[in-house]
Structure 1
Amino acid sequence: MENCSDKPTIMVTNDDGIDAPGLRALVCVLVSTDRYHVLVCAPDAEKSAVSHSITWRHPIAAKAADIDGAIAFAVAGTPADCASLGLSQALFPSIPDLVISGINMGSNCGYHIVYSGTVAGAREAFFNGVPSVSISYDWVGGKSTIHDYTLAAEACLPLINAILAEIRNQTYPKRGFLNIDLPTDVANHKGYKLTKQGKSIFKMGWRQVSSETQGVRMSSTMTMETDQPEAKTETDSSTISQEHLLFTREARGAHIADPDTDWQYLREGYITVTPLGALSDAEMDCQVFFKDWLPSVNERASSSAL
């Protein structure tokens, strides 16, 4: 921010695609406040569960998109591509003050953070030294409505404003970024809860299918929508020979959670605010094991070489 009279600039990305209702609701709420310059650099199609993959071997296309109140581009790339391109000054003339990735359809807690393209969009901004936030809404089929995305965006405005105030004061920490998850009943949320990333995960398996078999749609990196109408698996039978075996993912067993972490508090109705970093250190007992183990391997390797 160059001076106190300037509006801060927020860049929005996601993994559900530039036409996703979560992104559109977020941008609409941000624009309606008239407090920010809003940029959008998002995938031109759904890129859920692509994690932090990037496009390396070929150029990616960016096309101007029409979103009221924002300067927007749809990009033929991953969420990490979009965040990187949007921050590069190759697409927009300046670097935004804050990057927001979301609002995702489905929560992103626990181990599912690793799979999340939404979180990757924020992480890529963090890699580039720009403050960032990923936002996900715990969509449940049959309960949630499109309007819930607007409620979720409005519920995040105090957090967004507080972050921007810290950025303006140069007091915002640079060694992490935030992952925010909003509960299904967002209209009656219990407030913000600082949490830590847990180890929660859906137990997944694989099932063999034919090209005509219908499968369960994965709506996000976190949520299997088994109560929604089934969608056919996206396979092109013309490219599949008789020798190919087809498999589709499926949920096997309930969500496995651990106490006092992001998933538990989200289920209790809180808006969970989880600081994340880029490093994935092993837990202490694992580090202690390998500290003792590796020298013994060296010794055996040296002995066998004699």
Structure 2
Amino acid sequence: MEVANNVPDCKQPTIMVTNDDGIDAPGLQALVRTLVSTNRYRVWVCAPDSEKSAVSHSITWRQPVSAKQTEISGATAFAVSGTPADCTSLGISKALFPSVPDLVLSGINMGSNCGYHTVYSGTVGGAREAFFYGVPSVSISYDWVGGISSINDFTLAAEACLPIINAILLEINNKTFPKNCFLNVDLPTNIPKHKGYKLTKQGKSIVKMGWKQVSSNAQGNNISNMLSTMTNDPNSVALNTDAKSVSQENCLFIREVKGGAVDDGETDYRFVKEGYITVTALGALSHADNDCQTFFKEWLPAVAEHASSAL
């Protein structure tokens, strides 16, 4: 296999797309189709060859990753054996494509990525990796709800993001796009009736999970039934709780949703549930709240004083 060596067209900005649901996922396919249909961008795809949901920012370190060119109409695409962060790193390295893309888009994820879920999210990890290397990036997620959402909603989500994408590329061209953050975009379930764009801050919402022992014949079914989103309905997964059939020498456990915690402030989760397309600026790290800083500012000198007196 030869890497993509086409000569870049300087008249068109280049967008590279990755995700964590896998290169064949409907969210990525809808996003690429929508971008290609505008005839405004050169579109590259470098995405996992299988689902890599909730792998966060993990990378492949000791083994090589494979990249296989695949057919996506209007785009140059590679399916990669690694994680979303691997895909972004490879895609912006100039080892696979002839130049660094102007913008990296990660998504569209099946399920929202708000609050603390941005830490677990491979979708956000794919965008964050680009940010680490100074490439503007956006993670995009759709608040998929089973029984309500349909595959066509991903196309609506992609179209709703086009004004944001175009505006970002304008700022990049003008060299005015901020370099100390990347963006996380979440789209509401009812996209045709969305209330517009809303600048929000990352909240503390999270789906709390526990563990349940399962029999070996239940493991595959339970995993396949779970959505890639971590905000799935706790009643949507039917668990086989027959632990008696499991050998005590090799116990099997599967995650189960125990509940959730949300915050009522002006945060990403609240506003996406209210029907807004939320836009949240993220950095590489989450900083501790001010009250924690205040506590430890007084606490640490006391620890040092106690340690000195004990010598």
Q: Normalising TM by the smaller chain, what interval? A: over 0.9
Q: CA deviation at 1:40?
A: 0.2
Within 1, Cα distance between the matches of 2:187 and 2:264?
18
| Aligned equivalent of 2:222, options 215, 222, 243 | 215
Q: CA deviation at 1:242?
A: 4.4
> 2:148: which partner in 1?
143
Within 1, Cα distance between the matches of 2:81 and 2:283?
27
2:16 is the alignment partner of 1:11: yes
Q: Unaligned stretches of 5+ in structure 1?
A: none
> 1:93: which partner in 2?
98
- Deviating beyond 4 angstroms after TM superposition, the runs of 4 or more aligned structure 1 residues are 225-233
Q: CA deviation at 1:227?
A: 5.6
Q: CA deviation at 1:241?
A: 6.0
- Describe the superposition over 1:107-150 as per-residue Cα deviations: whole angstroms up to 9, x where unpaired: 00001110000001000000010000000000000000000000
Report the AA paired with residue 28 of structure 1. Answer: R
Q: TM-score, structure 1 length as denominator?
A: 0.92
- Describe the superposition over 1:35-59 as per-residue Cα deviations: whole angstroms up to 9, x where unpaired: 0000000000000000001111111
| Aligned equivalent of 1:177, options 167, 179, 182 | 182
Within 2, Cα distance between the matches of 1:46 and 1:4?
32
CA contact (8 A) 1:198 1:261 kept: yes
| Aligned equivalent of 1:204, options 202, 209, 214 | 209
Instruction: Count the aligned residue pairs.
Output: 298
Describe how 1:62-211 pairs up with structure 2 within 5 A: 62-211=67-216
Report the AA paired with residue 190 of structure 1. Answer: K
Within 1, Cα distance between the matches of 2:133 and 2:84?
14
Give the stretch that moved more between structures: 140-149 or 220-229.
Answer: 220-229
Within 1, Cα distance between the matches of 2:301 and 2:30?
55
Secondary structure of 1:104 counterpart = strand
Relative to structure 1, is the Cα distance of residues 114 and 221 closer, same or farther in structure 2, using a 3 angstrom cutoff? farther
Report the AA paired with residue 248 of structure 1. Answer: I
Q: CA deviation at 1:279?
A: 2.2
2:40 is the alignment partner of 1:32: no
2:277 is the alignment partner of 1:266: no
Q: CA deviation at 1:229?
A: 6.8
Secondary structure of 2:270 counterpart = helix
CA contact (8 A) 1:182 1:266 kept: yes
> 2:306: which partner in 1?
300
> 1:41: which partner in 2?
46
Q: CA deviation at 1:204?
A: 1.6
Secondary structure of 1:47 counterpart = coil
**Identity rate, percent:** 69
CA contact (8 A) 1:38 1:71 kept: yes
Relative to structure 1, is the Cα distance of residues 287 and 254 closer, same or farther in structure 2, using a 3 angstrom cutoff? closer
Report the AA paired with residue 83 of structure 2. Answer: T
Within 2, Cα distance between the matches of 1:241 and 1:76?
33
2:282 is the alignment partner of 1:291: no
Secondary structure of 2:156 counterpart = helix
- Describe the superposition over 1:22-75 as per-residue Cα deviations: whole angstroms up to 9, x where unpaired: 000000000000000000000000000000011111111111011000000000
Question: Please, what is the CA RMSD of the aligned residues?
Answer: 2.1
